[in-house]
């Protein structure tokens, strides 16, 4: 059914030691589309050969939903939106069940070494209606797609943006350590996995008029988000969603837009979105967070809070660690021995780290749920995105502010050392002032807690005051304890 040849590539890594160029020999079952085309070949790993026939002959059902993209073309975003639309905007279920289980990556285990699951079998055993993700070019998809005619959603993206994103993906997830030029040359000469890039999109563009195919553009989705998909979906779903249904979601999520010349793109930085509660006042600005936060927002907002919790909340680089350590010691009778033996990250857990951190394998929301009480919890989230039970259960909350100028300098160094930012100081400061940096807007973050400082369970501290007179700060009764010298 297939023919292949081994290709010599500088882009092999520990995840894929060798690459092949594979072609479908008989393309007669593929629809012609607008023009008669020779469908693209595929650059893939040799292990794929063991599953190629299984995938090509996979049983397809009419109620399947297939999400097809070239890598880094908006796949995850499309998967999530399409799944929600096909499940009556069931945000509660989406927040509980990982997207990887709701929309399975068909060929993953036959491309990447070390994957412990047979993902083709996983797709075969999915309950219907199945949502299936794939990066395979048109010719390598199941032949029954064109006879059974399930719903197929293809998302394309500007090839230049794909190239940059895919390069970072290769560095961070595939372990590629070569220079930028080698990767980009490999992409242009079809040596990167799932290439050829442009033909991948053109094959689906050619059949976009088929009744069961929806062809989307990442750039259009950025402009109007889920509204574009909702307006387009009738062509293959034959259903409508009312404005009331769409409003049922708790949050607004909008891709963060950068002036290209001032972009904060860096190896350690994921794709960002602007997040906001639906019922936020009009003057409230959204918070800048990584796109993966979308999958955690409802869980965090509905998180169970206990009265004996202690929450340390700050904008980044405002004395968070100092405050965490000090507050933990006060609440544990100055137990310096335990403080030395147990890492602060285990004693005072960073609540949303798993929801915002790049390549963080731990679900820190679950970690906090399972902590022994009294729990000490650190967060950089702004007030509206924190658990709503904070204001009914009323645990102790310590908020620390700091001179914005000092925060700016410290946060710049953080972006350079932790996130790999290599731009200029001026670029970073402009973006911080424009609220384009993670956890921004900075000033609004502080003002929201300043307005609730009179609440009996809230202690509003300043970094500068702590430096000047620490004793009077720690003696305040928010912790229901005082210290004598």
| pLDDT category of residue 250 using cuts at 50, 70 and 90 | low
| pLDDT category of residue 375 using cuts at 50, 70 and 90 | very high
| pLDDT category of residue 269 using cuts at 50, 70 and 90 | low
Cα–Cα distance for residue pair 78/131, rounded to 1 Å: 11
| pLDDT category of residue 369 using cuts at 50, 70 and 90 | very high
Q: What is the DSSP string of 142-160?
A: -GGGGTT--EEEEEE--HH
Cα–Cα distance for residue pair 400/392, rounded to 1 Å: 22
| Span of 172-186, 360-374, 378-392, 439-453 with lowest mean pLDDT | 172-186
Q: State the pLDDT at residue 251.
A: 67
Cα-atom radius of gyration of the chain, to the nearest Å? 25
| pLDDT category of residue 231 using cuts at 50, 70 and 90 | low
Q: State the pLDDT at residue 323.
A: 93
Average pLDDT, the chain: 85
Q: What is the pLDDT of residues 147-176, one digit of tens each?
A: 999 999 999 999 999 999 999 888 887 878
Q: State the pLDDT at residue 439.
A: 94
Count CA atoms closer than 13 A to 365's CA, side-chain side: 20
| pLDDT category of residue 220 using cuts at 50, 70 and 90 | confident
Q: Is the pLDDT of residue 258 over 60?
A: no
Tell me the percentage of the chain whose pLDDT exceeds 70.
87
Q: Is the pLDDT of residue 338 over 50?
A: yes
Residue 108: other Cβ atoms inside 10 A: 18
Q: What is the pLDDT of residues 396-427, one digit of tens each?
A: 999 999 999 999 999 999 988 887 788 888 98
Q: State the pLDDT at residue 275.
A: 84
Task: For residues 100-121, give the mean pLDDT.
Answer: 89
For 273-313, the three-class secondary structure string (H helix, E strand, C coil) is EEEEECCCCCCCCCEEEEHHHHHCHHHHHCCCCCCCCEEEE
Q: State the pLDDT at residue 483.
A: 38
Q: Is the pLDDT of residue 124 over 90?
A: yes
Task: For residues 355-378, give the mean pLDDT.
Answer: 90
| pLDDT category of residue 339 using cuts at 50, 70 and 90 | very high
Q: State the pLDDT at residue 172.
A: 82
Task: For residues 456-474, give the mean pLDDT.
Answer: 86
Select, from the ranges 120-124, 272-276, 477-481, the one with the highest average predicted confidence (pLDDT). 120-124
Q: State the pLDDT at residue 58.
A: 96
Task: For residues 121-129, give the mean pLDDT.
Answer: 94
CATH code, 2-234: 3.40.50.300
Q: State the pLDDT at residue 291.
A: 82
| pLDDT category of residue 284 using cuts at 50, 70 and 90 | confident
Q: Is the pLDDT of residue 181 over 60?
A: yes
Nearest residue to 66 via CA among 131, 160, 128, 22:
131
CATH superfamily, domain 251-475, is: P-loop containing nucleotide triphosphate hydrolases (3.40.50.300)
Task: For residues 247-256, give the mean pLDDT.
Answer: 63
Q: Is the pLDDT of residue 482 over 80?
A: no
Q: Do the Cβ atoms of 155 and 217 come closer than 8 Å? A: yes
Q: Do the Cβ atoms of 103 and 131 come closer than 8 Å? A: yes
- Return phi, psi of residue 366, to 5°: -65, -40
Task: For residues 343-362, give the mean pLDDT.
Answer: 88
Nearest residue to 297 via CA among 420, 366, 385, 370:
385
Q: Where are the domains of the chain?
A: 2-234, 251-475
Are both 2-234 and 251-475 of the same fold? yes
Contacts of 59 (CB under 8 A, 6+ apart): 124, 142, 144
| Residue among 200, 380, 414, 468 flagged as catalytic | 380
Cα–Cα distance for residue pair 150/236, rounded to 1 Å: 9
Secondary structure class of 237 (helix, strand, coil): helix
Q: Is 376 a catalytic residue?
A: no
User: What's this model's pTM, rounded to 2 decimal places?
Assistant: 0.54
Q: State the pLDDT at residue 102.
A: 94
Task: For residues 12-28, give the mean pLDDT.
Answer: 83
Task: For residues 284-299, give the mean pLDDT.
Answer: 86
Cα–Cα distance for residue pair 132/445, rounded to 1 Å: 39
Q: Do the Cβ atoms of 290 and 273 come closer than 8 Å? A: yes
- State the DSSP code for 257: P
Q: Is the pLDDT of residue 212 over 70?
A: yes
Q: Is the pLDDT of residue 241 over 60?
A: no
């Amino acid at each position: 059914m297939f023919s292949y040849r081994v290709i010599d590539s500088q882009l092999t890594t520990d995840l894929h030691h060798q690459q092949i160029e594979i072609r479908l020999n008989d393309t007669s079952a593929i629809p012609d589309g607008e023009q008669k085309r020779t469908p693209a070949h595929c650059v893939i790993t040799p292990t794929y050969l063991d599953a190629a026939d299984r995938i090509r002959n996979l049983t397809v059902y009419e109620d399947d939903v297939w999400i097809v993209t070239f890598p880094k073309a908006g796949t995850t975003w499309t998967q999530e939106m399409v799944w929600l639309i096909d499940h009556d905007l069931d945000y509660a279920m989406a927040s509980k069940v990982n997207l990887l289980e709701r929309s399975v990556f068909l060929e993953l285990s036959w491309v990447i070494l070390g994957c412990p699951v047979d993902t083709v079998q996983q797709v075969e055993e999915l309950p219907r209606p199945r949502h299936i993700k794939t990066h395979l070019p048109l010719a390598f998809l199941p032949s029954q797609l064109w006879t059974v005619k399930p719903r197929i959603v293809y998302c394309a993206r500007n090839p230049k943006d794909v190239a940059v994103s895919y390069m970072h993906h290769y560095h961070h997830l595939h372990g590629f350590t070569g220079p930028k030029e080698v990767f980009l040359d490999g992409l242009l000469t079809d040596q990167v996995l799932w290439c050829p890039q442009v033909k991948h999109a053109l094959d689906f563009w050619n059949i976009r008029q088929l009744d069961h195919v929806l062809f989307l553009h990442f750039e259009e989705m950025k402009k109007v988000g889920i509204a574009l998909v909702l307006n387009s979906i009738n062509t293959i779903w034959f259903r409508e969603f009312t404005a009331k249904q769409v409003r049922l979601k708790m949050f607004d999520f909008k891709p963060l837009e950068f002036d290209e010349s001032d972009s904060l793109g860096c190896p350690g930085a994921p794709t960002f979105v602007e997040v906001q509660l639906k019922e936020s006042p009009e003057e409230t600005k959204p918070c800048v967070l990584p796109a993966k936060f979308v999958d955690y927002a409802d869980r965090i907002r509905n998180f169970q809070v206990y009265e004996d919790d202690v929450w340390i909340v700050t904008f980044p680089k405002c004395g968070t660690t100092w405050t965490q350590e000090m507050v933990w010691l006060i609440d544990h009778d100055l137990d310096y021995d335990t403080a030395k033996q147990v890492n602060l990250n285990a004693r005072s857990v960073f609540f949303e780290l798993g929801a915002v951190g790049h390549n963080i394998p731990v679900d820190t929301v679950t970690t906090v749920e399972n902590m022994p009480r009294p729990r000490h919890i650190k967060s950089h989230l702004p007030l509206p995105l924190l658990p709503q039970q904070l204001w009914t259960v009323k645990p102790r909350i310590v908020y620390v502010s700091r001179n914005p100028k000092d925060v700016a300098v410290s946060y710049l160094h953080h972006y350079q050392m932790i996130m790999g930012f290599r731009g200029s100081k001026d670029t970073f400061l402009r973006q911080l002032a424009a609220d384009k940096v993670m956890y921004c807007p900075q000033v609004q973050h502080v003002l929201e807690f300043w307005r609730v400082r009179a609440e009996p369970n809230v202690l509003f501290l300043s970094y500068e005051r702590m430096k000047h007179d620490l004793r009077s700060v720690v003696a305040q009764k928010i912790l229901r304890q005082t210290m004598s010298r």
